């Protein structure tokens, strides 16, 4: 009786009547890794969908920062013409600029990660 088997990947596997403790531990570890990786990939899919949906807002903020409207709103704030309780984070050049910079950095990082994964 032949005690070997070829896996779908072309590896020759030794068949035994009783799996070793080492094999059981390995399977448990690989199962843990599969569950962890599956969860992480699913979370990344959801995060990317949310991130891509936010890109319209990012582009709108970039246009606003470069616009005459932003300059007018900033001037109105400087003159005290806006309500005191109005949130005005968008009138801070750094607020929008930091978002745009972080967005570019994140896109670059995602590209590096994708290149690493796709060249394996």
Mean pLDDT of each 10-residue bin along the chain, 120 residues long: 65 70 94 98 97 98 97 97 96 93 97 94
> Can you state the angle between helices 68-78 and 21-65, rounded to 10 degrees?
80
Residue 93 has a pLDDT of 79
pLDDT at position 51 = 97
Domain coverage including residue 27: 4-118
Q: How many separate domains does the chain show?
A: 1
Q: Tell me the pTM.
A: 0.72
Euclidean distance between CA atoms 51 and 99, whole angstroms: 13
Distance CA 17, CA 23 (A): 13
């Amino acid at each position: 009786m032949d005690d070997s088997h070829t896996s779908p990947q072309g590896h020759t596997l030794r068949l035994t009547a009783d799996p070793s403790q080492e094999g059981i531990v390995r399977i448990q570890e690989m199962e843990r890794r599969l569950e962890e990786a599956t969860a992480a990939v699913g979370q990344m899919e959801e995060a990317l969908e949310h991130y891509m949906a936010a890109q319209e807002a990012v582009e709108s903020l970039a246009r606003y920062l470069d616009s005459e409207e932003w300059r007018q709103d900033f001037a109105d704030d400087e003159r005290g013409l806006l309500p005191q309780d109005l949130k005005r984070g968008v009138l801070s050049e750094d607020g929008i600029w930091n978002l745009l910079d972080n967005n570019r950095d994140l896109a670059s990082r995602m590209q590096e990660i994708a290149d690493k994964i796709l060249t394996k």
